[in-house]
Amino acid sequence: MSPPPTPPRASRAGLALFWVYVALYGGFMALVLARPDLVALRPFGGVNLAIVAGMGLIAAAFALAVVYMIARAGR
Amino acid sequence: MLHETSPAAIAIFAAFVAGVIGLSLWLGRKKQSAQDYYAAHGQIHWFVNGIAFAGDYLSAASFLGICGMIAFSGYDGFLYSIGFLAGWVVALFVIAEPIKELGTFTLADALDARFQSRGIKFAVAVSTLVVSLFYLIPQMVGAGSLITPLLGLPHAAGVVIVGVAVTLIVVTAGMVSTTWVQFIKGSLLVFFCAITTGLILNRGLVENTTSLAPQVRTIRPDGTVLVDGRMRTRDHDLRPVGTIARLPDRYAGQTATGPLRPLEYLSALQDSTVVTWTASKRVDAEGTHTTYSPVERKGADLLKPGGYFKGLTTGKLADRLDFASLMVALFCGTASLPHILIRYYTVKDAAAARKSTVVGIAAIGVFYVLTLYLGLGAMTSGALDPTDTNMAAPLLAKSFSTMLFAIISAIAFTTVLGTVSGLIMAGSGAVAHDLVANVMGVTMSDHEKVRCGKIAAVALGIVAMALGILFKNFNVSFLVGWAFNIAASANLPALVMLLFWPRTTKQGIAAAVIVGMAASLGWILLSADTFEKVYGLSRDLAPMPFSQPGLVTIPLGFLVLVVVSLLTPRPPSA
C-alpha cells in the first residue's frame, strides 16, 4: 500500500476566519485580565461592556461560521 | 435543603427513558455493519447531526453548573459559556473537514491515517479513554446527586438508571441511536430553556424588602442536620434565598418592574441591589456549622467579571494565569474531545460536516445566552438553595410552576443520558476498533467488530456506574475542566501539526499525545485545586503555581511533537 498523500488541510478561508476569531476572543480575555474595570463600563447605555462583548463573541462565532459556510459552498 | 419531589418529574423522566430506549430498540432491529454501529453509516442528515452536537456537548456541567455559577457568583459563569462556545470555532475552521476526510470511526484513525503506526493508535486510544473517563465521572456523579432532590431516589439509583439506560441506547444501535437521543435531548434542552427565559422576562424583577437574618446549618457527626439550632424538618429548614432588596430608582414606588425586554432586564438588574449569601464554616464538638449571611450587592458588581475568578480582582499573578490557562484550554479543548469529533463520521461528506457544525454553533450559542438569563433569573427568584448551586435551574423553574420544575428536572436528567451515551460510544470505538482490532491485531469479521464494540460498551457502562458510585462525595464540577485541559494538551498538537506540518513523524505524534496527556494529568494531580478539593490538604502544599495546566502543557505538546519529529526520519510522503 503506498502512503496516502499529505493530509487535507483546512482551507485558507477557514484559517483567515480562525485568526479573526482568535483576535476577538483573545482580545476580550486580555481586556478582562488587564483591565477588569473597563469591561464594567457602559458605553452603550444600559448594558455593560462585559455582557455586550460576551454576547458579541457568541454572535460573532455564528456569523463567522455562516460566512465560512457560504465561502466554502459547492466545494 | 430538603426538596419536595414531584411525581410528575418522575413520570416525565420515566416516559423519556422508556421513549428513548424504545426508539433505540426500533433503530437496532436490523442487522448492523461496523459502519452502522460506529458511524451511523455516514447517513445522518447534517441538521440532525448539528442538533446532536448540542445534545452531545451540553453536559450537566453546562446546564446546571453554569446556571448555578451565574446564580451565585454572577457574570463569571458566562465566561465559561464564552470559552465553551469559542472552541467550536476551532472545530469548524481548522479540524472538521480534515478529520472527516482522514478518519473512518475514531480519532486514532484520523491521527494515524498517514502512518499505520500501532504506537499512534495505542497512544490516541488511551488518551481517548482518559479524556472520556474524566468527562464521564462528573456526568455519572451528577446523575446520582441530582436524583435525590429531583426525583427523590437514592444516589446509587440515579447512577444505575443512567448507566443501564445509556448502555441499552448504545448497545441497541450504536451511533444511530446515540445520535437520535442526542438530537432529542438537544432540542428539548434549548426549547425549554427558551420557555423558561420567556417566563423570566415576563416576570421581570420583583423587590423583596423583608429583612433577612443569617441562618445556620449544623451537620452533626452522626449525620443529623440542625437548622438554627433545631432539628431540620420539612417545616423547619433553611429559607430559600436570592432576592432583590431594591429596584432601580426609575421604578421608585413600584415593587415589581413587570415584563422586561431582554436587554432591559439586564440593565434593570445592573441598577438593582441584590441580596447574595456568603457561607462561612466552623467546626466544633457538636459538628460542622455553616453560617449563611445575607450581603447586599450592587447588580452592576454582579454583572462584571471577578465574582468567581478572584484573580481578576485581586491581581495575584498565579490566579490570573490560572484564569488565562482555563480560557485557553476551553478554546482548544472542544476540537480535541473524542466524543465530539466522532460525530463528524456520521455525516456523508465535508460539506455536511461544515453545515452541521454551523447548526451546532447556533444551537449551543443560543443555549448559552439563555443560560445567562436562567442563572440571573435564579439569582433573583427567591427560590435558591444556599447549600446547592446545582439546584439553581430546577428551583428557578419551581418558582414558576411545579410542572415546569418537573420538566426541567427530567431534562436535567436526560442531559446526562445524551452526553454519557456519546462518551460510551467514543470509548467503545477506542477499545474495540483501536485497541483490540488495530493495536492487538485481532482479525475480526464485520459482524464480530460490531459485537466487540457492544461488549466494550457494556464494560464501559459498568465502569461508569462503578465510578459514579465511588466518587459520590467528590466535588466533580471541575472535572470537566480537567477533561478539556487533557484533551487539548494530548490531542490538539497532534491534530494541528498533522494538518499543517508535513515533516510531522509518527514518533512525533505518539510522543506528543503521551507527553501532553501525562503532563496535563500530572500537573492537575499536583495542583492547589486538587490538593484542596480532592485530597483535603492545604492549597499551599501544592507544588504547581496554578491549577489549570493548559497554558503550559498545550505548548509543551507542540514542542515535543516538533523536537521528536526532527529527531526521527522524515516520513515517506513529505
The CA-based angle B88-B390-B282, given to 5 degrees, is 130
- Spatial CB neighbours of A37, under 8 Å, sequence gap ≥ 6: none
Residue B253 pLDDT > 90: no
Residues found in chain B: 574
Determine the pLDDT at residue B59: 85
Q: Which amino acid is at B211?
A: S
Q: Do B75 and A57 touch (CB under 8 A)?
A: no
Are B188 and B286 in the same domain? no
Residues of A in contact with B368 (CB under 8 A): 58
Q: Is residue B280 part of a domain?
A: yes
Q: Give the phi and the psi of residue A57 in degrees, each rounded to 5.
A: -65, -40
Among B312, B369, B372, select the one facing A33 at the smallest CB separation.
B312
Q: Is residue A65 part of a domain?
A: yes
Which among B205, B230, B231, B139 has a CA at the least distance from the CA of B421?
Answer: B139
In angstroms, the Cα distances linking B173 to B21, B348, B570 are 10, 18, 42
Residue A7 pLDDT > 80: no
Q: Do B267 and A45 touch (CB under 8 A)?
A: yes
Among A42, A46, A65, select the one facing B357 at the smallest CB separation.
A65
Residue B141 pLDDT > 90: no
Which residues of A make CB contacts under 8 Å with B?
1, 3-11, 14-15, 17-18, 21, 25, 28-29, 32-33, 36, 39-40, 42, 45-48, 50-51, 54-55, 57-59, 61-62, 64-66, 68-69, 72-73, 75
Q: Do A32 and B312 touch (CB under 8 A)?
A: yes
Which among B329, B567, B8 has a CA at the least distance from the CA of A29?
Answer: B329
Q: Which residue has the cell 503550559?
A: B552
Percent share of chain B, pLDDT over 90 = 57
Instruction: Tell me the C-alpha distance between B226 and B138, whole Å.
Output: 29
Instruction: Tell me if B486 sits within 8 A of B514, measured CB to CB.
Output: no
Least confident residue range of B15-24, B258-267, B464-473? B464-473
What are the residues facing B289 on neighbouring strands? B218, B282
Are B386 and B292 in the same domain? no
Are B168 and B230 in the same domain? no
Instruction: Tell me if B497 sits within 8 A of B512, measured CB to CB.
Output: yes
> Assign residue B447 a region: left if phi > 0, alpha if psi is -120 to 50, beta otherwise?
alpha
Q: Do A50 and B304 touch (CB under 8 A)?
A: yes
Are B318 and B405 in the same domain? yes
Last residue of a domain, one of B277, B302, B327: B302
Residues of A in contact with B304 (CB under 8 A): 36, 39-40, 48, 50
Residues of B in contact with A52 (CB under 8 A): none
Instruction: Tell me the C-alpha distance between B550 and B483, whole Å.
Output: 11
Q: Is residue A1 part of a domain?
A: no
Give the 3-state secondary structure of residue B383. coil
Q: Do B303 and A64 touch (CB under 8 A)?
A: no
Residues of A in contact with B78 (CB under 8 A): 50-51, 54
What are the residues facing B243 on neighbouring strands? B275
Q: Which DSSP symbol is given to B207?
A: B
Q: CA B443: distance to chain centroid?
A: 36
Instruction: Tell me the C-alpha distance between B406 and B157, whole Å.
Output: 18
Which among B559, B73, B554 has a CA at the least distance from the CA of B324?
Answer: B554
Q: Is residue B17 part of a domain?
A: no
Least confident residue range of B118-122, B135-139, B510-514? B135-139
The shortest C-alpha distance from A23 to chain B (Å) reads: 12
Q: Domain of A18? A: 12-72
Are B172 and B231 in the same domain? no
Are B197 and B220 in the same domain? no
Instruction: Tell me if B182 sits within 8 A of B56, measured CB to CB.
Output: yes
Are B420 and B350 in the same domain? yes
Instruction: Tell me the C-alpha distance between B492 and B336, whole Å.
Output: 6
Residues of B in contact with A6 (CB under 8 A): 114, 502, 573-574
B110-124, B199-213, B506-520, range with greatest mean pLDDT: B506-520
Counting Cα atoms < 13 Å in the Cβ hemisphere of B214 gives: 12
Are B129 and B247 in the same domain? no
At B393-438, the pLDDT tens digits run 999 999 999 889 888 888 888 888 899 999 999 999 999 888 988 8
* Cell output for B140: 455519572
Q: CA B51: distance to chain centroid?
A: 16
Among A9, A18, A47, select the one facing B89 at the smallest CB separation.
A18
The shortest C-alpha distance from B331 to chain A (Å) reads: 9
Determine the pLDDT at residue A1: 43
Q: How confident is the model at residue A18 (pLDDT cuts 50, 70, 90)?
A: very high
Q: Do A7 and B368 touch (CB under 8 A)?
A: no
Q: Is residue A4 part of a domain?
A: no
Determine the pLDDT at residue A10: 64
Q: How confident is the model at residue B558 (pLDDT cuts 50, 70, 90)?
A: very high
Q: Is residue A19 part of a domain?
A: yes
Are B82 and B221 in the same domain? no
Q: Do B351 and A72 touch (CB under 8 A)?
A: yes
Last residue of a domain, one of B284, B302, B320: B302
Q: Which DSSP symbol is given to B241?
A: B
Residue B159 pLDDT > 50: yes
The shortest C-alpha distance from B175 to chain A (Å) reads: 25
* Cell output for B446: 464485520
Average pLDDT over chain B reads 90
Q: Do B89 and A65 touch (CB under 8 A)?
A: yes
The shortest C-alpha distance from A27 to chain B (Å) reads: 12
> How many domains does chain A divide into?
1
Q: How confident is the model at residue B103 (pLDDT cuts 50, 70, 90)?
A: confident
In angstroms, the Cα distances linking B137 to B141, B170, B485 are 6, 18, 15
B33-37, B46-50, B348-352, range with greatest mean pLDDT: B46-50
Instruction: Tell me the C-alpha distance between A46 and B300, whole Å.
Output: 11
Q: Region A3-12: what's the mean pLDDT?
A: 60
Q: Do B324 and A36 touch (CB under 8 A)?
A: no
Residue B287 pLDDT > 70: yes
Q: Is residue A5 part of a domain?
A: no
Q: Region B223-233: what's the mean pLDDT?
A: 89
Q: Give the phi and the psi of residue B174 in degrees, each rounded to 5.
A: 55, -130
Instruction: Tell me the C-alpha distance between B489 and B481, whole Å.
Output: 12
> Per-residue DSSP letters for chain A?
-PPPPSPPPPPHHHHHHHHHHHHHHHHHHHHHHH-TTGGG--TTSSS-HHHHHHHHHHHHHHHHHHHHHHHHTT-
Q: Is residue A2 part of a domain?
A: no
Residues found in chain A: 75
Are B222 and B327 in the same domain? no
Residue B97 pLDDT > 80: yes
Are B193 and B244 in the same domain? no
The shortest C-alpha distance from B469 to chain A (Å) reads: 36
> How many domains does chain B divide into?
2
At B350-384, the pLDDT tens digits run 899 999 999 999 999 999 999 999 999 999 998 99
Last residue of a domain, one of B244, B277, B302: B302
Could you tell me whether strands B273-284 and B215-219 are parallel, antiparallel, or unpaired per DSSP bridges? unpaired
At B165-179, the pLDDT tens digits run 999 999 998 999 999
* Cell output for B52: 446532536
What number is the ipTM of this complex? 0.91
Determine the pLDDT at residue B437: 87
Instruction: Tell me the C-alpha distance between B37 and B173, whole Å.
Output: 6
Residue B318 pLDDT > 90: no
Q: Domain of B534? A: 43-203+311-567
Q: Give the phi and the psi of residue B220 in degrees, each rounded to 5.
A: -80, 165
- Spatial CB neighbours of B453, under 8 Å, sequence gap ≥ 6: B34, B37, B38, B174, B428, B429, B431, B432, B433
Residues of A in contact with B90 (CB under 8 A): 18
Are B286 and B353 in the same domain? no
Q: Is residue B554 part of a domain?
A: yes
Segments in B40-75 forming alpha helices (H): 46-57, 60, 66-73
Q: How confident is the model at residue B57 (pLDDT cuts 50, 70, 90)?
A: very high
